[in-house]
C-alpha cells in the first residue's frame, strides 16, 4: 500500500427535506383539515477512527463526501425519511485542519473514536404543524434547513513510542529491521527511505513502536532533500534515538546538523529525551570505535552508545533505556486520561432534603 500522510477533502452534510402542504380529502368528510407532514433531517458527516488503516491513500481517489438529503414530507401526516449519514474512516493519529492548514480542528489518536463532525440540516415543517384554533387551514410550510459544508485537510502523524533520526545512510532502517520484524528497504545510497516505517520492538515481556523517518540533511527546514515534512510522525514519541554513522569523518558536525534541523522545526522535538548511538562500529574495530565515541561524548556532553545494527552489537543496550522513557510517558498519559475523565463526570447533587443550611 502506498503511503500518504496528507490529503484535502470536501465534506457536506445533508440538507433537510421540505415540509408538505396537504389537506385531508376523504369521502363524506368535510373540511378534513391540514395533514402535510414534516421533512426529514439531513444526514450527518461522521468521523470514525479505525485501527485497520495506517495511511490516507484512500483519500487520493475520493475527495468528496456528501451525506444524503432528508426526504420531503408527504400527505396523510407522513414525515419524510431522514437522510443517511456518511462515515469517513481515518487512521489513528490523524489531525483535521481548517482550509488554512494551520488551525487544528480535531486531533484523533484513539481507535474507536467516533463523532459527528458536520450536522445535517433539520427538516422543514408541513402545514399540519401550523394548525391552530384560529388558523385551522394553514397553507404554510417551510423548506428544510441547509446542511453544512467544509473543505478540510487531513494530516496523519503516526502513533509511535520512539523515533529514529539521523543523516541519510546512518543505518536507521537497518536498526529498525534488527530490533523489529519490519522490513524497510535497505540500500547503500542516500534517501533509501522515502516514507516513514513502523516496527514493534520487544524488551523482556514489553513491546513498543519505533518510527523510522527519511533522513535529514543540512537545510532540511528550508526544503532541502525531503525537507522536514516527515518530522511530524515523531512528534508524539517519548524519546528519540539519534543514529550517527561512525565511519564518516565529522561525527560532531553530523550530530549538530540534525540538532539544528530539529530546533528549526520546533514543536518540542529538540526538547525530547535523546539517546545518541554511533552505528556501524563493527567496520572500525573496538579501539577506533571507542575513540570516535569518546570524541563525540566530549563534544556533546552525553553518553554515546556503540552499536552495529547489521550485526546486532549493542542493539539491546539501546532498547532498554528507550523502553524506560516510553514507560514513563505511558504512565503520564494514563494519569492524564484518568484526570480528564474525573473532570468530565457530572457532579452529584447534594441530597439534604431541600434544606441548604444543613449541607456541610
What is the distance between the alpha carbons of residues 12 and 119, in angstroms, rounded to a whole number?
A: 9
pLDDT at position 358: 38
Which 3 state secondary structure label does DSSP give 74? strand
Among 40-54, 77-91, 177-191, 336-350, which is the least confidently predicted range? 336-350
Mean pLDDT, rounded, for 182-201:
79
348 occurs within a structural domain: no
pLDDT in tens, 284-311: 888 898 888 898 888 988 899 998 888 8
C-alpha cell of residue 129: 404543524
- Phi/psi for 313 (5° steps) reads -65, 125
Domain range for 122 is 1-25+32-127+141-156
What is the distance between the alpha carbons of residues 207 and 162, in angstroms, rounded to a whole number?
A: 11
The answer to whether the CB of 41 falls within 8 A of the CB of 94 is: no
pLDDT at position 347: 53
Query: Per the annotation, does 168 bind a ligand?
Result: yes
Statement to judge: residues 91 and 190 lie in one domain: no
Answer yes or no: is pLDDT of 354 > 50.
no
What is the distance between the alpha carbons of residues 355 and 207, in angstroms, rounded to a whole number?
A: 56
Query: Per the annotation, does 308 bind a ligand?
Result: yes
343 occurs within a structural domain: no
Q: How far does the chain reach from its first CA to its final CA, in angstroms?
A: 63
Statement to judge: residues 220 and 110 lie in one domain: no
Answer yes or no: is pLDDT of 356 > 50.
no
Query: Per the annotation, does 215 bind a ligand?
Result: yes
Query: Per the annotation, does 256 bind a ligand?
Result: no
The angle formed by the CA atoms of residues 14, 18 and 21, to the nearest 5 degrees, is: 170
Query: Per the annotation, does 167 bind a ligand?
Result: yes
Query: Per the annotation, does 279 bind a ligand?
Result: yes
pLDDT in tens, 316-345: 889 999 999 898 888 887 887 777 666 655
176 occurs within a structural domain: yes
351 occurs within a structural domain: no
pLDDT in tens, 227-243: 777 888 888 888 899 99
C-alpha cell of residue 146: 441547509
CATH of the domain at 231: 3.40.50.300
Between the CA of residue 348 and those of 345, 351, 359, what are the distances in Å? 9, 9, 13
Which pLDDT band, with edges at 50, 70 and 90, does 83 fall under?
A: very high
270 occurs within a structural domain: yes
Mean pLDDT, rounded, for 217-229:
73
Statement to judge: residues 94 and 172 lie in one domain: no
342 occurs within a structural domain: no
331 occurs within a structural domain: yes
Amino acid at each position: 500500500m502506498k503511503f500518504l500522510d496528507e490529503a484535502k477533502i470536501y465534506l457536506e452534510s445533508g440538507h433537510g427535506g421540505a415540509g408538505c402542504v396537504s389537506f385531508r380529502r376523504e369521502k363524506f368528510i368535510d373540511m378534513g383539515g391540514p395533514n402535510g407532514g414534516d421533512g426529514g433531517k439531513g444526514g450527518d458527516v461522521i468521523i470514525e477512527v479505525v485501527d485497520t488503516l495506517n495511511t490516507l491513500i484512500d483519500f487520493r481517489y475520493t475527495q468528496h463526501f456528501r451525506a444524503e438529503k432528508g426526504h420531503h414530507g408527504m400527505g396523510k401526516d407522513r414525515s419524510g425519511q431522514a437522510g443517511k449519514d456518511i462515515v469517513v474512516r481515518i487512521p489513528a493519529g490523524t489531525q483535521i485542519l481548517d482550509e488554512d492548514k494551520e488551525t487544528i480542528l480535531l486531533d484523533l489518536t484513539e481507535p474507536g473514536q467516533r463523532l459527528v463532525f458536520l450536522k445535517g440540516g433539520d427538516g422543514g415543517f408541513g402545514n399540519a404543524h401550523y394548525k391552530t384554533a384560529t388558523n385551522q387551514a394553514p397553507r404554510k410550510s417551510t423548506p428544510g434547513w441547509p446542511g453544512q459544508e467544509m473543505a478540510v485537510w487531513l494530516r496523519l502523524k503516526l502513533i509511535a513510542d520512539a523515533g529514529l533520526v539521523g543523516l541519510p545512510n546512518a543505518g536507521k532502517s537497518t536498526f529498525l529491521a534488527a530490533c523489529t520484524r519490519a522490513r524497510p528497504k535497505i540500500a547503500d545510497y542516500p534517501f533509501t527511505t522515502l516514507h516513514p516505517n513502523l516496527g514493534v520492538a520487544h524488551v523482556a515481556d514489553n513491546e513498543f513502536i519505533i518510527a523510522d523517518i527519511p533522513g535529514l540533511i543540512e537545510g532540511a527546514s528550508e526544503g532541502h532533500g525531503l525537507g522536514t515534512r516527515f518530522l511530524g510522525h515523531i512528534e508524539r514519541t517519548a524519546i528519540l534515538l539519534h543514529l550517527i554513522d561512525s565511519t564518516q569523518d565529522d561525527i560532531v558536525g553530523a550530530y549538530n546538523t540534525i540538532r539544528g534541523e530539529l530546533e528549526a522545526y520546533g514543536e518540542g522535538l529538540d526538547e525530547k529525551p535523546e539517546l545518541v548511538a554511533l552505528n556501524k562500529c563493527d567496520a572500525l574495530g573496538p579501539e577506533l570505535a571507542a575513540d570516535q565515541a569518546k570524541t563525540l561524548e566530549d563534544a556533546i556532553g552525553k553518553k554515546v552508545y556503540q552499536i552495529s545494527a547489521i550485526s546486532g552489537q549493542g542493539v539491546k543496550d539501546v532498547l532498554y533505556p528507550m523502553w524506560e522513557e516510553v514507560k514513563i510517558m505511558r504512565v503520564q498519559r494514563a494519569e492524564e486520561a484518568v484526570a480528564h475523565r474525573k473532570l468530565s463526570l457530572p457532579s452529584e447533587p447534594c441530597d439534604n432534603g431541600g434544606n441548604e443550611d444543613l449541607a456541610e
